[in-house]
Structure 1
Amino acid sequence: MLTRRSALLTGLTAAALPSTSLAGAQSSPRANTRVGPVIGRRQEGISVFKGLRYGAPTRRFQPPAPPTPWRDPAAAFDYGAASPQRGDEPNQSEDCLFLNVWTPGVDAGRRPVMIYIHGGAYSSGSGSEPLYDGTRLASRGDVVVVTLNHRLNALGYAYLARLAPGFEDSGNVGQLDLILALRWVRDNIAAFGGDPGRVMVFGQSGGGAKIATLMAMPAARGLFHCAATMSGQQVTASGPVNATTRATAWLKALGLTPDRAHEAADLPVERLLETQSVEDPILGYGGLYFGPVLDFRSLPRHPFYPDAAPQGLTIPMIIGNTREETLGFMGNDPKNLGLTWDTLAARMPPGVMRIDITPEAVITAYRRMHPDWSPDQVLIAATTAGRSWRGAVIEAQERAQAGAPAWVYQLDFPGETASGRKGAFHTADIPLVFDNVNAPGSRTRGPGAQVVADRMSDAFIALARDGDPNHAGLPRWDRYELPTRQTLLFDVEPRMANDPRGDERAFFSAIPYIQPGT
């Protein structure tokens, strides 16, 4: 079993980058970073560097540190380790501060930089998914694409500051990892043909939420110049009292009392992951939520409450969602097929809706607004509008009220779930934005998919290049303003619409929204 001590010793004695033979490296692309030279591979006309170390082996619950410099060229041929997590993510280690770069060339070019922050809430995932391969995007837009790994779940967000000395930053070290990666890009991306003055961050689901949080963190100021969030928002962070309650519940599951919180720093990482499945004491359902904490140190305010954080108001931003978000979570469950008006309410408990409203009230409202819809349609629409879409609406509203540039989209083009159900579900826009509709794992493909991918990827490239997503392949994409709420509907034939699903938005706006996890 891997202990904290053995993991640290392993990381300290490992090579600067994941080890791979340098045979044939003489003809491979080379870049000189501030901490040492690296060698990549040329693939499909793109120079690819995988597993670049941007941080030293981590110290559990502590802020990250820059890597130790090296002299000899290091191979950057393979992805670095992902943060430890539950699930089947391969190659996990607490030594996980690695990033990957795709560039048309390590020349003197000053190309826009597009940094993708992966989803998986704050608990899982990595920058190594085939869907995130940056080859096509880098080639298409003559841009530099970056993906990365950082600490997740309790390793990145367990708030122990009020329980033990020496852990003051523990609730946000996952975010501090991201800031260190952004500093690495600022300091090194020119060596890969990128422009450190034109850096865009984009992310889906939890990746978007991490970006929204970065926009309220003073240490991230000036490290990126535009942003795009895809079905991921963070209106409020977890408060320090609730975060402490969660940490205490987690420690109890570990067999530790609060006064022994420091002992978690030396327990086997597998044990830390197992115990996160205990019921969340704040939400009352699901496993423990670990996410950014309002610690008044690195995160001094909520990202979008009571308004949009002033720090982010000058950053041009795309805010997007998919029309049937929750089809991605609920569409493969046989219990959610063939519903009747009598059985629908049982499929919409508080843990599904995530707001304080009765299922019966929601059903009544939808039957009034959309009398032709089936119970199955109401389930997906209501859970999307009430649970997944609310944060995006709030963020867009707050930016509009502040006069900050925001372009809002809704993906209408359908993908196909594993069960065969079709719709614009959560994650359906990832292969479109990366221009990877035929990559392994893509469920957004078939007739029309490449047309939509052309338009979406070009819009993100345009934002990275010019700070404005408009391009010749789109109708004029107007900024989101009140009261019109202009929104671009991405489909084979994209079109602008004012306040799409406005009846649903108006209905749910009467119910207070509390960010899950707050």
Structure 2
Amino acid sequence: MKPMTRRKLLKGAGIAAGVIAVAGVGGAFALRRVMAPDTTPGPGEEGQTVALAQGQLKGTVHEGVHRFLGIPYAQAHERFVPADPSPAWDGVRDASAYGPMSPQGSMLGFSAGSQSGTDNDCQNLNVWTPGLDDAARPVMVWLHGGGFSTGTANDSSYDGEALSGAGDVVVVSVNHRLNVFGHLDLSAYGEKYARSANIGMDDIVLALRWVGENIRAFGGDPANVTVFGQSGGGAKVLALMSIPEARGLFQRGIVESGATQTVGEAFTSREASARLTQNLLAELQISEDDVEQLQSVDVSKLQSASTSALQKTADEFQIPAPLSSGYQMEWEPVVDGDFLPSGPVTEDGFAEAGREVPLLIGSNLNEWTVSPLGGSFVTETDELKAAVAEAYPNVESLTEDHVDTLIRPCILRIAAHKASRPEAPVFAYVMTNGTSSHGAEIPFVFRHSDNAQMSGLMSEAWVSFARGGAPAADGLPEWEPYTHEGGATMLLDTASTLAYHHDEKLLELLGANLSY
């Protein structure tokens, strides 16, 4: 019989990086709201001009890396409808400052915060490149965290200069519509809004098309594009791998801590989506015959009504809150049977649109277990202590209550389903270095950390995967693909090891659902 545990199992609908970034060493944490991120561009001198079909673009250069910020890839004239192609401009457009970001929504019980610098017309992206030649470098397109409700590509945490320069890759980050602006399902109210439930993902598809058409001007290879993201950004990668219209627009995907049971691994049902819209209209006292009024509702009023409607719908559908007791619903893509036929995990393995896309997927050992929001506790037993030591023999002072059971089981299920298909490999990891909380790997991937060893290791592995489809780095053992039989998972640390089915017994003892 399994021991009785008193662990709060953090299951549910939300992915929180971007709402609160948790960073810490030795148990000391800083909580950072990204509703007010540092979006000041880094230092730079006047750079070169590139010629695009839209017009000429002048960026800046710093430490040999060119940056072009706020480039429009499309233009949204109305809320909840597809964006149009970005118009051409006359003369030379300045690309030294970030563009607008999406209006920000509430998430995990936190208010939407300031709407400064936001706009429904937020379809812009940022590019960092080591050269404007024809070197055909790998392209790495970053999708920011914050679930599907908040966050921005303009956050200084995602500045691509160091990664671009060290890896000799072109880095792109994308702004797109979020929350009610990106995922309000108005499909029942006219053909105009047929795609409204997934308009935020439609924006990202448009951005990838822009990359395919324009990235050569920045020294990038349009036939070698990797989409990567953390938390909600990782879930966006999984959504793209499930969208037929995105097929062929990217060749590889990297998912960092990007799945819970109802976002990333799966997405919102049409039933819940339709009910959420009804609840929102009721909150705003707008009749179903007057949905056009939504075009002019004040942003703050719309976000406040959305928060109430999300909670009411969560209570009705009994959607478990991810980091607390009770129920909670967050904005996310909707499985509409057309634009998004399914989530990535399907009965016959993996979504058809992503079967030929190699995947690198993983999470951090501690994730939310060391956060004030996600603290959990377990009754210690000899069996659990032994299972922890067996799973992570090189992690000092690890206790059962600091082993993530929110994200890791979902990552395992996605990896297992991807591995069941022969078309492309999947590589799995767990990052165990230091206090490996939610988002702790981001400074390593972008080479922003003072920990040069981990920054070099993780950024090199990510670039290696983007360049050729297999992660590798100096100091890493050979990284084998995850298979049902082998269960290979790289434990990323200063002394990394490749483990095989290393934590399944531990996760089962902690009550995690490992059904594949």
The TM-score normalised by the length of structure 1 is: 0.80
Q: How does 1:4-403 map to 2 (within 5 A)?
A: 28-85=47-104, 86-88=112-114, 90-233=116-259, 234-278=264-308, 279=311, 280=314, 281-282=316-317, 283=319, 285=326, 288-306=329-347, 307-327=349-369, 331-332=371-372, 336=375, 344=377, 363=378, 368-370=383-385, 377-381=399-403, 384-385=404-405, 387-403=406-422
Counterpart check, 1:461 vs 2:475: no
Q: Which has the higher contact order (CA 8 A, sep 6+)?
A: 2
- SS of the residue 1:182 aligns to: helix
Contact 2:462 2:471 in 1 (8 A): yes
**Aligned-pair CA distance for 1:331:** 2.0
The aligned amino acid for 2:270 is P
Match in the other structure for 2:442: 430
**Aligned-pair CA distance for 1:510:** 7.4
Count matched residues: 441
The aligned amino acid for 2:414 is E
The aligned amino acid for 1:189 is I
Could you tell me which runs of 5 or more consecutive residues in structure 2 were left unpaired when the two chains were aligned: 1-43, 105-111, 321-325, 389-397
- SS of the residue 1:166 aligns to: helix
Taking the aligned partners of 1:245 and 1:365, their CA distance within structure 2 comes to 43
Taking the aligned partners of 1:143 and 1:511, their CA distance within structure 2 comes to 38
- SS of the residue 1:489 aligns to: strand
Contact 2:413 2:514 in 1 (8 A): no
The aligned amino acid for 1:74 is R
- SS of the residue 1:451 aligns to: helix
**Aligned-pair CA distance for 1:57:** 3.2
Deviations 1:48-82 (A, max 9, x none): 10100111134201012210112311000101111
Q: How does 1:442-481 map to 2 (within 5 A)?
A: 449-481=451-483
Range that drifts further, 52-61 or 215-224: 52-61
Match in the other structure for 1:488: 490
Deviations 1:474-510 (A, max 9, x none): 1111110112211111111111111232113445787
**Aligned-pair CA distance for 1:129:** 1.2
Contact 1:326 1:388 in 2 (8 A): no
Change (3 A) 1:491 1:36: same
Change (3 A) 1:90 1:408: farther
**Aligned-pair CA distance for 1:133:** 0.6
Match in the other structure for 1:502: 504
**Aligned-pair CA distance for 1:164:** 4.7
**Aligned-pair CA distance for 1:210:** 0.6
Change (3 A) 1:429 1:478: same
Taking the aligned partners of 1:468 and 1:245, their CA distance within structure 2 comes to 43
Contact 1:114 1:199 in 2 (8 A): yes
Taking the aligned partners of 2:141 and 2:465, their CA distance within structure 1 comes to 13
Contact 1:159 1:170 in 2 (8 A): yes
Taking the aligned partners of 2:303 and 2:99, their CA distance within structure 1 comes to 20
Contact 1:121 1:205 in 2 (8 A): yes
The TM-score normalised by the length of structure 2 is: 0.80
Taking the aligned partners of 1:71 and 1:465, their CA distance within structure 2 comes to 36
Match in the other structure for 1:5: none
Contact 1:89 1:125 in 2 (8 A): no
Kindly indicate which of the two structures has a greater share of residues assigned to helix.
Answer: 1
Taking the aligned partners of 1:512 and 1:412, their CA distance within structure 2 comes to 21
The aligned amino acid for 1:84 is P
Contact 2:380 2:400 in 1 (8 A): no
Taking the aligned partners of 1:196 and 1:265, their CA distance within structure 2 comes to 36
RMSD: 2.6
Taking the aligned partners of 2:411 and 2:135, their CA distance within structure 1 comes to 35
**Aligned-pair CA distance for 1:257:** 3.8
**Aligned-pair CA distance for 1:371:** 7.2
The aligned amino acid for 1:261 is V
* Percent of pairs with identical residues: 32
- SS of the residue 2:350 aligns to: coil
Contact 1:313 1:405 in 2 (8 A): no
The aligned amino acid for 1:425 is S
Taking the aligned partners of 1:256 and 1:287, their CA distance within structure 2 comes to 24
Contact 2:73 2:206 in 1 (8 A): yes
Change (3 A) 1:410 1:255: same
Taking the aligned partners of 1:129 and 1:264, their CA distance within structure 2 comes to 29
Contact 1:240 1:295 in 2 (8 A): yes
Counterpart check, 1:410 vs 2:423: no
Could you tell me which runs of 5 or more consecutive residues in structure 1 were left unpaired when the two chains were aligned: 1-23, 345-362, 415-422, 439-448
Taking the aligned partners of 2:387 and 2:477, their CA distance within structure 1 comes to 31
Deviations 1:178-223 (A, max 9, x none): 0000000000000001010111110000001011011111110100
Contact 1:164 1:261 in 2 (8 A): no
Change (3 A) 1:76 1:286: farther
Deviations 1:280-326 (A, max 9, x none): 34226465421111112211222212221122122111001000111
The aligned amino acid for 1:201 is V
Taking the aligned partners of 1:58 and 1:31, their CA distance within structure 2 comes to 27
Range that drifts further, 221-230 or 54-63: 54-63
Change (3 A) 1:164 1:261: farther
Range that drifts further, 150-159 or 394-403: 394-403
Change (3 A) 1:305 1:42: same
Taking the aligned partners of 1:145 and 1:399, their CA distance within structure 2 comes to 26
Taking the aligned partners of 2:506 and 2:272, their CA distance within structure 1 comes to 30
**Aligned-pair CA distance for 1:372:** 9.7
